[in-house]
């Protein structure tokens, strides 16, 4: 009696069907169909830091590193998957070993909401939503983060709705 071992390292997930034929010393054969399912590896817990971004000043160069971690190998492709970056800012480089930099010179005052997603070599992803404020040159930059920025955005939205209703 001989044992048959199916071995190897899967390179992709999916389902395959195959039949194994065994023949004994007397020439008798037996067939056995098999279905083999390779499941995708579970994604590790990935993170992006920082959780919040500092405000920017219009016309003043801005540079903020953004770092993803938790994957092996520790390399990521970064994309903006919701919203838009403040005009004048970009992610540099988009494909990085670990860290990307949000950099440039902001050109337009406002509050900007966007989501940055990091994708590792295995297709696992992590996203971080950001809201950042671009203020005019010479202004004091508010140091709002987390709830403070959320409340400011909510207040400005309500003020905008009230202004629209007054015009109607």
DSSP state of 97: S
In a domain, 135, yes or no: yes
State pTM to two decimals: 0.62
pLDDT of 149 higher than 70 = no
In a domain, 18, yes or no: no
Report CA Rg, the chain.
Answer: 27
Q: Is the bond preceding residue 145 a cis peptide, omega within 30 degrees?
A: no
pLDDT at 110: 94
Of 51, 130, 65, 127, residue with least CA distance to 97: 65
pLDDT at 1: 55
Q: pLDDT, tens digit, for every residue of 83-142?
A: 999 999 999 886 667 889 999 999 999 999 999 999 988 888 999 999 999 999 886 655
In a domain, 136, yes or no: yes
What mean pLDDT value characterizes the chain? 85
Number of domains in the chain: 1
In a domain, 89, yes or no: yes
- Rounded Cα distance between 149 and 133, Å, is 9
Q: Which residue has the tokens 């990935």?
A: 46
Q: How large a percentage of the chain has pLDDT more than 70?
A: 85
In a domain, 121, yes or no: yes
CATH number for the domain that contains residue 162: 2.60.40.10
- Rounded Cα distance between 71 and 47, Å, is 9
Q: pLDDT, tens digit, for every residue of 38-87?
A: 877 788 889 999 999 999 999 999 999 999 998 877 788 999 999 999 99
pLDDT at 85: 96
In a domain, 82, yes or no: yes
Full residue range of the structural domain in which residue 56 is found: 47-167
91, HSE (Cβ side, Cα atoms, 13 Å): 21
């Amino acid at each position: 009696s001989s044992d048959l071992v199916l071995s190897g390292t899967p390179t992709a997930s999916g389902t395959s069907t195959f039949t194994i034929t065994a023949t004994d010393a007397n020439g008798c054969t037996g067939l056995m169909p098999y279905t083999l399912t390779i499941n995708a590896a579970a994604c590790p817990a990935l993170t992006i830091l920082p959780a919040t971004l500092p405000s920017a000043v219009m016309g003043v160069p801005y540079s903020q590193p953004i770092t993803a971690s938790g994957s092996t190998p520790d390399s990521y492709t970064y994309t903006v998957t919701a919203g838009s970056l403040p005009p004048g800012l970009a992610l540099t480089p988009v494909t990085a070993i670990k860290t990307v930099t949000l950099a440039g010179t902001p050109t337009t005052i406002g509050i900007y909401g966007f989501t940055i997603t990091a994708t590792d070599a295995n297709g696992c992803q992590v996203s971080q939503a950001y809201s950042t404020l671009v203020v005019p040159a010479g202004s004091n930059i508010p140091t709002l983060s987390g709830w403070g920025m959320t409340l400011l955005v909510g207040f400005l939205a309500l003020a905008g709705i009230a202004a629209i209703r007054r015009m109607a």
